[in-house]
Structure 1
Amino acid sequence: MSTPPSMRASASSIGPPSPLQNAIDNGSDEVPGGPLAGIPDLKTYVAETEEEKLAALKLVADGIAQTRQTANRILMFHPVNFGIFLAFIAFVGQYLYKSRGSDLGIVITTSSGLIMAAMVTVRRYTNPYIALAEETHISMLEDSDVLVTKFGDEVIGTVIMGWVDGETKGKRRKWRAEIKGWAVRLRYRGKGEGIALLQEAVNLAKKKDADGISFAPDHANSRRVLWDFYNGPFDKQERKAEAKLEAMWDNNAKTTKSKRR
């Protein structure tokens, strides 16, 4: 795929700095020694250096590996699994209690061993997430724009955007933005950084006159390790993100039309 001319522009061509950098303001109006003194800047922009791009790629890989923790919880606390396991523990405990002369110690020890064995089994079935994380290849960065959010010198969030052929309108060739990877460092999740990054991705796609934006069919978190029966939480989360991205694009388009009037 040839690279669209708009993609050859430098980072400075995508417009003013991200509005995210205003989330923490250490400007000249700040009183020296005040409550925000010493807090690093928060800023979002298109990565310019290989170091920043590789840090973003590593963040995506870390996000895939951390998905294993969610998969562990799903397997352990799924109503069906949890109910069957509790029934099994109760059956074994009752049998041992009656057959070993009401020895409660044996019951507790055996039950603890069964719980540990169950946890090891669960981790065995979610191990493939580690392999998927290790398969995250630098080729993901090819023909892509890498948006990064940095808190000081640390990359805490990223969106990796690829470009594919879109609809051709007349003689003008259009491009469509696809999100290959989207990740926020674990301790910064739940603070709105992920949604803010999606908005920045929409802004960049609009700036480069893209025909639209969506998640790539094979994006970094698209692969499933568990059986379909257990993938409901992952599918729900993905549908929510897709709906949010679509709504952002539509809102951006409406705003643009309003400004032109």
Structure 2
Amino acid sequence: MPRPPLPTAKQLDLRSSLQTVTDFTVAVPGFKTSAAFFSFLRANLVLPPSTLNSNTSTPLLDPSSSQTLPPLFPSSLATMTSNAEDEVVLAPNPLEGVPPLVTKQLTDEDDKVAALKLIADSIAQQRQQAARAIIFHPLTLAGYILLLAVISNFIYKSRSDLGIVATTSAGVTMACLVAIRGLTGGYLNLAEEFNWKFATNEDGEEDIIIGSRYGEEIIGATILRLEGKGNGSGKKKTKSGKTGGKGVVRAWTVRVKYRGKGVGTELLEEAVKITREKLGNTAEIGFAAEHANSKMILPETFNASFRKREARAAKALENVVESMDTGSKKKR
């Protein structure tokens, strides 16, 4: 059977008219879906965009005006960058509000009284040091253990006596602590006896009182006595710079919570400076044999810690003198 002739190019021209597409659809049933799609596409291409009533999700085929877009705001990163360039943020000063430490000779009576009270407190504080020296001394520990052993051997007979042994041992311990408290109580009496007379020489002249002030508080004190010639009487110095006198440190202390921070060193430096100004650059300076903290009420066996403290103080003064002498030589 011969095949029907194929449609010509003229019959397939979709751009001629909508009627041609419709006729072709009827003639070719297999192209019904395609014909409907082309009909819809042609209708949308013919109508202007302004006449369409589509949803907001339907994309626009023509360029949209700027009125339909949300306004553009500057990026937050750009704002941060501009602020960082325009404004310079200064880091807070960690020392802001911290009062300075001033070490100098005291002239006000109230300051002198505060310095003397501080020295009296240092004398009273020797009681704790003496108590520790007694408690931790090898002889004390050996005697305490021996005493507990004798009491336990005398009382303990069976396991039921353990409670009595423990109670008795606690009582003995309390009695020993009370005895140590009584032995060291003399330092409180020494602190109470400390007064203005200590800072006055035989001629009635007042010693030089040096203080370290931190804010409104006196945290360190030193009593300096100038002995011999040239102690402020206005006598002339010799060619060698000597005046025949010496400086004697009779008290040197710092408040407990400020110790170990260099306050004591500044006090000694000021004492050396004043001594050299009044007695010459080669004047000697040292600690007095009978300084404010020199009296000891315990037997010499328990005074090892006090002797070590005196040795450390003398070494500290020696180091200050050497450093100041070295500094003066370099300046020359």
TMscore range, shorter length: 0.7 to 0.9
Letter in 1 for 2:198: M
- 1:37 partner SS: coil
Quote how far apart the aligned CAs of 1:140 are. Answer: 2.8
Report the equivalent of 2:149.
90
Q: What are the within-5 Å matches in structure 2 for residues 149-164 of structure 1?
A: 149-164=212-227
Displacement over 4 Å in runs of 4+: 31-34, 166-172
Report the equivalent of 2:115.
56
- Residues 33 and 130 of structure 1: CA distance in aligned 2, closer, same or farther (over 3 Å): same
Report the equivalent of 1:215.
287
Bigger Cα displacement from structure 2, 249-258 vs 239-248 = 249-258
Q: Does 1:70 align with 2:129?
A: yes
The Cα offsets for residues 76-100 of structure 1, whole Å up to 9 and x where unpaired, read as 11011112102211331243222x6
**Larger C-alpha radius of gyration, 1 or 2?**
2
Report the equivalent of 1:229.
301
- 2:194 partner SS: coil
- 1:103 partner SS: helix
Task: Give me the CA root mean square deviation.
Answer: 2.3
Larger RCO, structures 1/2 (Cα 8 Å, 6+ apart): 1
- Residues 225 and 166 of structure 1: CA distance in aligned 2, closer, same or farther (over 3 Å): farther
Letter in 1 for 2:223: I
Instruction: Give the whole-Å Cα distance in 2 for the aligned partners of 1:190 and 1:247.
Output: 16
Report the equivalent of 2:254.
184
Instruction: Give the whole-Å Cα distance in 2 for the aligned partners of 1:208 and 1:139.
Output: 23
Report the equivalent of 1:20.
none
The Cα offsets for residues 160-196 of structure 1, whole Å up to 9 and x where unpaired, read as 1111016998597432111111111112122232223
**Contact 2:265/2:320 (<8 A) preserved:** no
Identity %: 38
- Residues 95 and 248 of structure 1: CA distance in aligned 2, closer, same or farther (over 3 Å): same
Gaps of at least 5 residues in structure 1 are 1-30
Letter in 1 for 2:162: L
Report the equivalent of 2:325.
253
Instruction: Give the whole-Å Cα distance in 2 for the aligned partners of 1:190 and 1:84.
Output: 35
Q: What are the within-5 Å matches in structure 2 for residues 12-27 of structure 1?
A: none
Instruction: Give the whole-Å Cα distance in 1 for the aligned partners of 2:247 and 2:302.
Output: 30
Instruction: Give the whole-Å Cα distance in 2 for the aligned partners of 1:119 and 1:54.
Output: 34
- 2:125 partner SS: helix
Quote how far apart the aligned CAs of 1:40 are. Answer: 2.5
Quote how far apart the aligned CAs of 1:55 are. Answer: 0.5
Bigger Cα displacement from structure 2, 224-233 vs 204-213 = 204-213
Match of 2:228 among 142, 153, 165: 165
**Contact 1:181/1:220 (<8 A) preserved:** yes
Letter in 2 for 1:109: T
**Contact 1:41/1:151 (<8 A) preserved:** yes
Q: TM-score when scaled to structure 2?
A: 0.63
- Residues 192 and 108 of structure 1: CA distance in aligned 2, closer, same or farther (over 3 Å): farther
Match of 2:104 among 45, 49, 52: 45
